[in-house]
Amino acid sequence: MKRSKIAGIGSYLPERIVTNEELTKVMDTTDEWIQERTGIQTRRYGVKHKETTSSMGAKAARVACERAGISPNDIDFIIFATLSPDYYFPGCGVLMQRELGITGKEAGALDIRNQCSGFVYGLSIADQFVKTGMYKNVLVVGSEMHSMGLDFSTRGRNVTVIFGDGAGAVVVQPTDDPDQGILTTKLHSDGTYAEKLSFVNPGAHGGYHQERIGDTTDLGYPPADTYGEIFITQKMKDEGMLYPNMEGQFVFKLAIQKFPEVIQEALKEAGLQTTDINMLIPHQANLRISQMVQRLLGLRDDQVWNNIQRYGNTTAASVPIALCEAWEAGKIQKGDLVCLAAFGSGFTWGSALIRW
């Protein structure tokens, strides 16, 4: 079987820089609180109504294609990861396909709903398609326009201050070089605590899961024999229930356990050790999580790339944006061992080991 490699990488960050200070004008928070708990100083927000998750993804994808030496028309398959899609359906994959003008070829498009680990999942899928010879050019994109769906009142401060907008993309191609390419990917999930980091409304659940897990919140659903108003109830609108929610400390504890676990699992399979890692690109969840993971793995500062200070948590986009930035800064050279790792809502987590 062939190996697959990352042949081109690109990213897109919207121009508007939003400081912590700016957020203090709309909610009860402080620059000190945000920096101390998350390390975040600024994040980017896209231009409302002028930029979307798919349009930002297209910008990152164009750069990745150019660097891979191909035209978007050469793409055989698109994998698009996001939790902030333009539409409930269809997915961002086809919208970006249209934006890139590659509709004529009828390349396949797949959307991934795996939140923070979406890009690592997407890369693993691309790897399987490419190494089995099914496709030659697979475009994997992670993109988020969080700023359109956050609660900017004090009620939403624990979540809102963390997230930012942006996109990253890679082109995955086959390689004959035995010393290069994706060595392994590891993917995991556990739905036991699905609601601990979630965006449950609007949805067609009708309170089903809430009842099963003993959550007594009244979501305002009409009687069971009434149809319509299934996705959004008046109560949800009136009481601000249409936003993401997160049990921060629960997420933190699980993240610092699963990140090292899934990294060690990949290293073990490849017969490598943490000392072999040239660059770890962790999902930029929270600087405190990355620092703890670094400590637990015994890695030096120059072995871990962090940019959450400037971009916040961009969920599915964070790994490709960080990978692109580290590569552009010359910190990833041919032959280097690069480890990607992510953990997030679901919970889902994964890792990828790449010989650059």
* Catalytic (active-site) positions: 116, 283, 313
CB nearer to ligand ACO: give 86 or 151: 151
- Chosen residue from 128, 158, 245, 309 binding ligand ACO by CB under 6 A: 158
Cβ closest to ligand ACO, residue 187 vs residue 246 = 246
CB of 271 to ligand ACO, least distance (A): 29
Output the smallest distance, CB 180 to ligand ACO, in A. Answer: 30
Binding of ligand ACO by 307 (CB under 6 A): no
Kindly state whether residue 109 participates in binding ligand ACO, applying the rule CB under 6 A: no
Q: Which of 169, 281, 285, 324 binds ligand ACO (CB under 6 A)?
A: 285
User: With respect to ligand ACO, which residue has the nearer C-beta, 113 or 136?
Assistant: 113
In the chain the first and final C-alpha atoms are separated, in Å, by 18
Between CA 65 and CA 72, with CA 71 as vertex, the angle to 5 degrees is: 75
Task: State the Cα–Cα distance between residues 38 and 46, nearest whole angstrom.
Answer: 21
CA distance 312 to 297: 23
Verify binding: residue 343, ligand ACO, rule CB under 6 A: yes
Asked if 293 is part of the footprint of ligand ACO (rule: CB under 6 A), the reply reads no
CA neighbours closer than 13 Å in the CB half-sphere of residue 334: 3
Q: Which of positions 239-278 make contact with ligand ACO (CB under 6 A)?
A: 246, 248-249, 251-252, 255
Which DSSP string do the residues of 152-187 spell out, in sequence order?
A: -SGGGHHHHTTB--EEEEEEEEEE--TTSEEEEEEE
**163 touches 344 (CB < 8 A):** no
Of 33 and 152, CB closest to ligand ACO: 33
**Contact positions with ligand ACO (CB under 6 A) in 170-209:** 197
Q: Shortest approach of ligand ACO to residue 82 CB, angstroms?
A: 14
Angle between helices 287-297 and 248-270 (to 10 degrees): 40
CA distance 54 to 117: 18
Nearer to ligand ACO, 14 or 344 (CB): 344
Q: How far is the CB of 139 from ligand ACO (least distance, A)?
A: 24
Choose between 122 and 344: whose C-beta lies nearer to ligand ACO. Answer: 344
Stretch that binds ligand ACO, among 34-42, 46-54, 218-226, 330-338 (CB under 6 A): 34-42
Cα–Cα distance between 295 and 302 in angstroms, integer? Answer: 13
- For the CB of residue 118, give the shortest distance to ligand ACO in the complex, in Å: 11
Question: 43 with 163: CB under 8 angstroms?
Answer: yes
Is 37 a binding residue for ligand ACO by CB under 6 A? The answer is yes
DSSP readout, 19-80? EHHHHHTTSS--HHHHHHHH---EEEEPPTTT--HHHHHHHHHHHHHHHHT--GGG--EEEE
* Three-state secondary structure readout of 105-128: CCCEEEEECCHHHHHHHHHHHHHH
**Could you say which of 14, 344, 346, 350 contacts ligand ACO (CB under 6 A)?**
344
Least Å from the CB of residue 1 to ligand ACO: 33
**Which among 30-38, 40-48, 65-73, 186-194 is the span making contact with ligand ACO, rule CB under 6 A?**
30-38
Q: How many residues does the chain have?
A: 356
Task: Please report, as ranges, the residues that interact with ligand ACO according to CB under 6 A.
Answer: 29, 33-34, 37-38, 116, 157-158, 161-162, 197, 246, 248-249, 251-252, 255, 285-286, 288-289, 313, 343-344
